[in-house]
Amino acid sequence: MTAKLLQLIWAFMQVGITAFGGGLSTLPLIEYQLVIKNGWMTAEQFNQMVAISQVTPGPVAINAATFAGYQQAGFLGALFSTLALICAPIAALSLILFALKRVSPERSKAFKLMLRPVVAGLLTLSIFSPLTSTLRNGVAAAALFAAGLALIKYCRFFKEYPAAMLIIFGIFGTVFLS
């Protein structure tokens, strides 16, 4: 149990420290830790966890850390995973802020500009995992995507009430693509 807690803490400390941009930009980092590196869940389970994290209150990364920690080590796993995700970047940012206050404004600005492409790359990566998982279902997913585009373009009801389309397509996807 202690080894598993240490693995969870280390995994989510790495996510917290290296996740620039927040929100969806953290998904590739979380997926790497949970699916690829540690094998704690499959890609499909990860995508389901992301979907659940999107509809529950709170940031996606915190919801994912809490869920994965609980799944791996119960209440203590959830607690330590969440704390590692939150406390590690606070400590790292405090050190960076301390350092940035001691360098010239030009160097500080250059550092901040350097982070922009990193955030853009992480956001781009966050699109690929759910997309590739969905495309494994082939023709049905493509048909669902095409139907959604057509409804958005041509159906006045769905233009006015996009939430209705999300509910209908969520049910359809659950029934036919799961």
Contact 144, 171 (CB under 8 A): no
3-state secondary structure at position 144: helix
> Percent of the chain at pLDDT above 90?
22
Q: CA-to-CA distance for 137 and 153, rounded, in angstroms?
A: 24
Each residue of 14-72: pLDDT tens digit? 988 887 666 677 888 888 999 999 999 998 888 888 888 877 887 888 888 998 999 99
- Rg of the chain on CA atoms, in Å: 19
Band (141; pLDDT cuts 50, 70, 90): low
Q: What is the largest CA-CA distance in the chain?
A: 58
Sign of the CA dihedral with 41 first, then 42, 44, and 46 last? positive
Contact 128, 32 (CB under 8 A): no
Q: How far is CA 68 from CA 44, 62, 73, 173, in A?
A: 14, 10, 9, 24
Each residue of 104-131: pLDDT tens digit? 888 888 887 887 787 677 666 666 656 6
